[in-house]
Chain A
Amino acid sequence: MNSQIQFSEKALKSVNEIIGRYPSDKKKSALIPVLHIAQAEFDGWLSVDTMDYVASILEIKPIEVYEVASFYSMFNLKPVGKCLLEVCRTSSCWLMGAEDVVHFIENKLNIKDGETTADGKFTLKTVECLGACGYAPMMQVGADFYEFLTLEKTNDIIDQLSDSGKRSAYNAWQTGKESEILINRVD
């Protein structure tokens, strides 16, 4: 195991608080929330070393972590850009023009679905229904939902994210703000 990998004190506190939510012999139940924290702590993705570390903390076998990490779509098993742009494309979002949003981002950033820009800032990922059907089309960046997207608005959001240098692919666990989301919806 890679001894370089170590949760920060703050993260460790959250991890222990989460473990306390389950009966003492059911530590494994903490796995999914702890993987979210691990992803936030270690560059937005889960390396084998990271997963082995999580296994040691929860006192379970590494394979039990791998099989869970590979099942859920929010866990990245390879590195992603600083900002992960997740554009919904299921029914309602498609009806309201999600395809145009995806094409626009592909052209603007010169990447295809699933790719990361050369400067490592953005990764584009098309995703299935995120529960924003009435506010379509939408994309999620970190914890933030950007809704009622137009091409103009999408352009502005990407420019803002690019300037802010925010690491929103993986800061969701700690810093996403609900106020931001509400503002995003109003306009």
Chain B
Amino acid sequence: MSKKRLLQNIDIPGINTIEVYRNHGGYKAVEKALKEMTTDQILEEVKLSGLRGRGGAGFPTGMKWSFLAKPEGVPRYLVCNADESEPGTFKDRYLMEKIPHLLIEGMIVSSYALGANTAYIYIRGEYFYVHRILENAIKEAYSKGWLGKNILGTGYDLDLYMQIGAGAYICGEETALLESLEGKRGNPRIKPPFPAVAGLWGCPTVVNNVETIAAVVPIVNHGGADYAAIGVGKSTGTKLISASGHINKPGVYEIELGLPVEEFIYSDEYCGGIRNRKELKAVVAGGSSVPILPKELILKTASGEPRLMSYESLGEGGFQTGTMLGSGGFIVMDEDTSIVKNLYTFSRFYHHESCGQCSPCREGTGWMEKILKKILSGNGTLNDVDLLWDIQSKIEGKTICPLGEAAAWPVAAAIRHFRKEFEEYVTNPQSIVDVKHYYRVNNLTAI
């Protein structure tokens, strides 16, 4: 049996329509769940599968579900986080665009398991066209009786709605997403209470990523044990990896967790190696927030073991020598890449996206962007590099939501592993700025 569990049918023509999807085994998980399984049985299978949140945090999904409060007479909600905004990540878009019914099927099964009769898919505003694809697919599902009242005659009712955002990275944070869904600014809430107790409109709510919800379908179809048999250790199952940057074959790949990083980068089945026969310089393995690693440390751990695409192996060595699997946004950089300039694009991003609630993040992200701009313009000093380090260390852990960490970690890692490059920028700016990176000082303000 193929090791793919989500994208195995992706190339079948018409798989985005309900007829073709159904002809290839679609909606069987709904039949099985609603007719043959209790909600507790589904929860047990999800726990057994070892599935972990695919949005980035990697929190065990079964455990998250089990925290859902169930007070009498209070509605519960399932909200799908399709606010995919982490730079380097485009897997959810691919899944929703190509095989929208897989997400809808996952939403039905998961809503049933959680006892929710209303569910929402919150999608980022820029994905207008994906929003339209999903709206059409939802209409198809309603017309075939997979959504609405008394689904399959089981007495179970479910209404599924789309909700569109309007351009705010922060709304990928689950409490900010709920605020946004309530028609407010996307300011994260202080936890506790967690959404499982007081979420959407104060009701118990589970928020899960698109890929997580889609993975519930094969788990219900084939059982949790089947899913857990794929992967390595506590990294069970498959993961969608969004591969971008200086590689021959950018795109979305479904991999079995535990695949060696080296194979992922160089095999023709995946990234196909570095383009233009260049050397690999560095990789951001899990979306912009996770620490960047130089070639030596992304291919092998500090102890010399091959690095694997798994939560544990990528994390080995902590932040000193390791990184995180995160959202699976895999950005590859070749030997000519300026790490400082790449970091600048990240820091500018986080400054732009900070919601402004917490001072360390609101002010710190701006300072980091400005200092990096100064260094890039050839006017930096060695003190600026230390100042950058100092600022990032004062954001981490001091904000309501993890955007603070997300902004601080890339800065820390870039300095940790590429300090020499920063020093070269400040001590000999001409060599770097003009020759190596084709970068004109005068145009800095343009981008």
Contact = CB atoms under 8 A, between A and B. Distances in A.
A94 interface: yes
A131 B287 CA distance: 11
A95 B333 contact: yes
A92 interface: yes
Interface stretch (B144-152, B165-173, B215-223, B301-309): B165-173
Interface in A77-97: 89-92, 94-96
Nearest to B329: A133
A81 B242 CA distance: 33
A96 B243 CA distance: 13
B329 A68 contact: no
A71 B185 contact: yes
B89 A36 contact: no
Q: Interface SS of chain B: helix, strand, loop or mixed?
A: mixed
Contacts, number: 169
Contact of B166 (A32, A60, A90, A95): A32
A28 B88 CA distance: 33
B128 A143 contact: yes
Nearest to B443: A103
A23 B87 contact: no
Nearest to B136: A178
A133 B242 contact: yes
B129 A72 contact: no
Interface residues of A, number: 57
A21 B250 contact: no
A132 B92 CA distance: 11
B252 A74 contact: no
Contact of A29 (B183, B331, B352): B183
Nearest to B161: A21
Given A98-B447, A126-B447, A131-B84, A90 B346 contact: yes
**How many B residues are at the interface, by size bracket?**
35 or more
Contact of A128 (B128, B250, B284, B349): B349
A177 B85 CA distance: 22
A135 B93 CA distance: 12
A173 B126 CA distance: 11
B345 A89 contact: yes
Interface in B110-137: 120, 124-129, 132-133
Contact of A94 (B126, B167, B345, B355): B345
A98 B345 CA distance: 11
A35 B163 CA distance: 12
A134 B447 contact: no
Given A23-B201, A134-B250, A173-B128, 11 more contacts: A32-B166, A75-B166, A90-B346, A90-B348, A99-B443, A103-B443, A126-B447, A129-B86, A131-B127, A133-B250, A178-B129
8 contacts: A23-B201, A29-B181, A36-B125, A64-B184, A73-B168, A91-B349, A127-B167, A131-B127
